[in-house]
Amino acid sequence: MTQQTLPAEDFSRRFRNALGMFATGITVVTTRTPDGVPIGLTVNSFNSVSLDPPLIVWSLANDLPSRALFEGCEYYAINVLAADQAELSQRFASRLGDRFGGLDFDSGVGGVPLLRGCCARFQCRNTVRHEGGDHVVFISEVVDFDREPRPPLIYFGGAYRQLQA
C-alpha cells in the first residue's frame, strides 16, 4: 500500500475525526485569577495517571487566552460533568465573558470553584507542565476529591452521548 501526501487541512480534519472515535467524559476545569475571579473551560482531554501518588493529566490549547492563568495558578479543579449537564459544557466551551454569571458553586482548596451536581470533582495542585505540540500538558497531584453516583456526560463522534443501562 502506498502512502499519499495529503494537504495539511485534509490530514488535520481526518485526524480529528479519527480521534472522535474515542469516547471521553466531559470536564470543566476551574480556578481563580490572581484577582480572585473564577474562570473555567470545558476540557475532554482528562485522564488518570497514577494512584500512588494520585495524579491526573489534561491539556490546554496554546492559543487560549486563559492559558497563562491556568499555568500560573496554584490549584484548580476538574469537574466531571453528569449526563444532565450538557448546558454547563456548552457554557464553559463558549467565548462568554463571565461564564460563572448566575451560577451557584462551592469553593475548594485555594478557593477553586467546584461545580454542583457533577459525577466527580478533583481538587488538584498544579505541579508539572510540558509542551505538547499545540497544547500544554498538565500533570497534577489530586489533593482532595468527591463523587456522586450519577451517569456521566459522554462525548463521542462530535456529539454528546449518554450511557445505556
Nearest to 151 by CA among 106, 116, 120, 127: 120
> Scanning the structure block, which residue is given the C-alpha cell 469537574?
79
In a domain, 105, yes or no: yes
Within 8-134, strands assigned E span 24-25, 27-32, 38-43, 46-50, 55-61, 75-80, 105-107, 113-115, 120-132
What is the mean pLDDT of the segment spanning 133-157? Answer: 94
Q: How far apart are CA 98 and CA 146, in angstroms?
A: 26
The CB density around residue 93, as the number of other CB atoms within 10 Å, is 15
Nearest partner of 153 among 84, 99, 53, judged by Cα = 84
Is residue 102 situated within a structural domain?
A: yes
Tell me whether residue 18 is in a domain. no
Domain membership of residue 135 as a residue range: 24-151
Within a domain: residue 12?
A: no
- pLDDT tens, residue by residue, 48-57: 999 999 999 9
Would you place residue 1 in the very low, low, confident or very high pLDDT band (cuts 50, 70, 90)? low
Res 6 pLDDT > 90: no
Residue 73 falls inside a structural domain: yes
Count the domains in the chain: 1
Note the pLDDT tens digit of each residue in 84-95.
999 999 999 988
37 inside domain: yes
Using the 8-state DSSP alphabet, how is residue 97 labeled? S
Checking if the pLDDT of 7 tops 80, the result is no
Q: Residue 64's domain is classified under what CATH number? A: 2.30.110.10
Residue 62: inside a domain, yes or no? yes
> What is the structure's pLDDT at 3?
61
Segment 116-131 mean pLDDT: 95
Look at residue 9 and tell me if it is in a domain: no
* The pLDDT of residue 43: 93
Mean confidence (pLDDT) of the chain: 90
